[in-house]
């Protein structure tokens, strides 16, 4: 066992014709970490995952897994020979094999009693001991996904790659399957890279999160750091609409039309502008109000309001949906 990172990516780039799908990506991921890759559609998430798996070869850079260089300018180790498991978006079980045979398929010695025992242990872990004989089409989406996970775990990988593995599950099922999957991976000490385009999923699942934009890795950090201290406007906007206010800074404070805000040491210098998330603002009743709600976007537990201020600024304000709004004539926006 090496003590270095389980996955080490250095200067990875890959272009398809004129499209730069992955652009100079470097990243270290330790064993046991769940690392979420977050980005819009087309930002290069799947391509990066395919490069780590060895399904695609980068144009530049290197991939090291468990201390061994598996791909660089000199050589390229095939997917089958890498200590890597993966679960893709549509789980793609072999339809003509039952669940157990699907899991045994990936094992080096699939006829041995030992392999069968290991497979049965994996079924127990994913909570499907009673479905080992089932054909894939008789399994629900969540069950198929868990069989796909068991199949990927059957090779005892050091690295697990998950490409939007929960996106085709309905909401009720998703949270449960996600929790089971990530718990098993954490307990096994596997370094996991999980691709998602859902910011909430990335924040709630990732020990760390990386934001990809047009093939570039623009920020890596803990969910807390990524959300509260984005490295710039692009990173901030990954999590939805944001307010830009003119600001005048002095020391660690910035003066805005809504009052003063404090700056954290790690916040990037963005001269003249303050970015505020909608939940950092609140609508209140005030004699000097003069704000008007232009649009209302119900979000379930919260509601997003687009507000026009008396100074003709347009601001997004997020409130709990259980909070009631004062009358339009006396509305004002304040910093929370
Ligand atoms: P994501 O998974 O973030 O949606 P992808 O990695 O699939 O993004 O794609 C990144 C970019 O590379 C996109 O512009 C996509 O069109 C392009 N691309 C991906 N795979 C191929 C391919 N096999 N041939 C040509 N272009 C590709
Ligand atoms: Mg993709």
Residue that finishes a domain, picked among 214, 233, 252: 233
Paired strand residues for 332: 284
pLDDT for the residue numbered 247:
86
Mutate to test the pocket of ligand 1, among 13, 17, 20, 21 (most ligand atoms within 8 A of CB): 21
Shared domain check, 228 and 97: yes
Kindly identify the ligand whose nearest atom is closest to the C-alpha of 165: 2
Mean pLDDT of the chain: 91
Residues with CB under 6 A from ligand 1: 16, 19, 21, 39, 41-47
pTM for this predicted structure: 0.89
Residue that finishes a domain, picked among 233, 260, 284: 233
What is the C-alpha separation between 29 and 209, in angstroms, rounded? 11
CA angle, corner 184, sides to 68 and 95, nearest 5?
Answer: 90
Q: Is residue 2 part of a domain?
A: no
Shared domain check, 218 and 251: no
Shared domain check, 187 and 69: yes
Q: What is the pLDDT of residues 122-168, one digit of tens each?
A: 999 888 999 999 999 999 888 998 999 899 999 889 999 999 988 87
Shared domain check, 251 and 189: no
Q: Is residue 44 part of a domain?
A: yes
For residue 64, the CA-to-ligand 1 centroid distance in Å is 23
Shared domain check, 281 and 164: no
Q: Is residue 32 part of a domain?
A: yes
CA distances from 38 to 19, 209, 220, 225 (A): 19, 7, 10, 14
Q: What is the pLDDT of residues 266-290, one digit of tens each?
A: 666 666 788 899 999 999 988 777 8
What is the C-alpha separation between 56 and 141, in angstroms, rounded? 28
Residue 328's pLDDT band, with cuts at 50, 70 and 90, is low
Shared domain check, 196 and 262: no
Domain count, the chain: 2
- What is the domain extent for residue 318? 241-335
For residue 87, the CA-to-ligand 2 centroid distance in Å is 12
Shared domain check, 267 and 140: no
> What SS3 class is residue 181?
helix
Q: What is the pLDDT of residues 166-222, one digit of tens each?
A: 887 888 888 888 998 899 999 999 999 999 999 999 999 999 999 999 999 999 999
Q: Residues for the chain: how many in total?
A: 336
* Pair of tokens at residue 316: 């997004």
For residue 21, the CA-to-ligand 1 centroid distance in Å is 6
CA dihedral 232, 238, 242, 246 (to 10 degrees): 10
Query: Residues of the chain with pLDDT > 90: what percent?
Result: 65
Q: Is residue 1 part of a domain?
A: no
Shared domain check, 264 and 316: yes
Count CA atoms within 13 Å of residue 308 on its CB side: 7
CATH number, domain containing residue 18 = 3.40.50.300
Give the closest residue (by CA) to ligand 1 atom 27.
Answer: 16
Q: Is residue 214 part of a domain?
A: yes
Shared domain check, 180 and 85: yes
Q: What is the pLDDT of residues 290-305, one digit of tens each?
A: 888 999 999 999 999 9
Shared domain check, 281 and 197: no
Closest atom of ligand 1 to 195 CA is: 2
Continuous segment of H or E residues that includes residue 331: strand 331-335
What is the C-alpha separation between 16 and 253, in angstroms, rounded? 46
Residue that finishes a domain, picked among 184, 200, 233: 233
Shared domain check, 263 and 229: no
Q: Which residues contact 301 (CB under 8 A, 6 or more apart)?
A: 320, 321
DSSP tag of 76: B
Q: Is residue 319 part of a domain?
A: yes
* Pair of tokens at residue 173: 């099922």
What is the C-alpha separation between 324 and 272, in angstroms, rounded? 34
Shared domain check, 258 and 184: no
* Pair of tokens at residue 82: 């890498």
pLDDT at 329 over 70: no
- Answer yes or no: are the C-beta atoms of 166 and 180 closer than 8 Å: no
């Amino acid at each position: 066992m090496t003590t270095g990172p389980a996955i080490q990516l250095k200067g990875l780039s890959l272009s398809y014709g004129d499209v730069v799908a992955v652009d100079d990506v470097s990243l270290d991921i330790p064993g046991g970490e769940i690392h979420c890759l977050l980005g819009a559609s087309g930002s290069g998430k799947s391509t990066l995952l395919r490069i780590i798996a060895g399904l695609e070869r980068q144009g530049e850079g290197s991939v090291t897994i468990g201390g061994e260089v598996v791909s660089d300018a000199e050589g390229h180790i095939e997917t089958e020979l890498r200590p890597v498991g993966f679960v893709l978006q549509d789980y793609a079980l072999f339809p003509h094999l039952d669940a157990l045979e699907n899991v045994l398929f990936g094992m080096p010695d699939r006829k041995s009693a030992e392999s069968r025992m290991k497979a049965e242990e994996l079924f127990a872990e994913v909570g499907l001991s009673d479905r080992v004989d089932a054909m894939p089409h008789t399994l629900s989406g969540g069950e198929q996904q868990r069989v796909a996970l068991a199949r990927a775990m059957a090779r005892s990988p050091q690295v697990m790659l998950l490409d939007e593995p929960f996106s085709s599950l309905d909401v009720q099922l998703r949270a449960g399957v996600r929790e089971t999957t990530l718990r098993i991976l954490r307990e096994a000490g596997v370094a996991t890279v999980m691709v998602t385009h859902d910011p909430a999923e990335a924040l709630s699942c990732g020990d760390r999160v990386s934001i990809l934009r047009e093939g570039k890795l623009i920020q890596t950090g803990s969910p807390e750091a990524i959300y509260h201290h984005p490295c710039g406007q692009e990173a901030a906007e990954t999590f939805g609409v944001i307010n830009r206010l003119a600001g005048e800074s002095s020391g660690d404070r910035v003066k805005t039309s809504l009052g003063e805000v404090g700056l954290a040491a790690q916040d990037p210098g963005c001269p003249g502008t303050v970015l505020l998330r909608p939940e950092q603002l609140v609508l209140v009743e005030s004699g000097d109000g003069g704000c008007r709600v232009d649009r209302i976007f119900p979000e379930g537990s919260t509601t997003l309001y687009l507000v026009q201020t008396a100074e003709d600024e347009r601001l997004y304000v997020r409130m709990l949906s259980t909070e009631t709004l004062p009358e339009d004539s006396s509305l004002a926006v304040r910093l929370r």
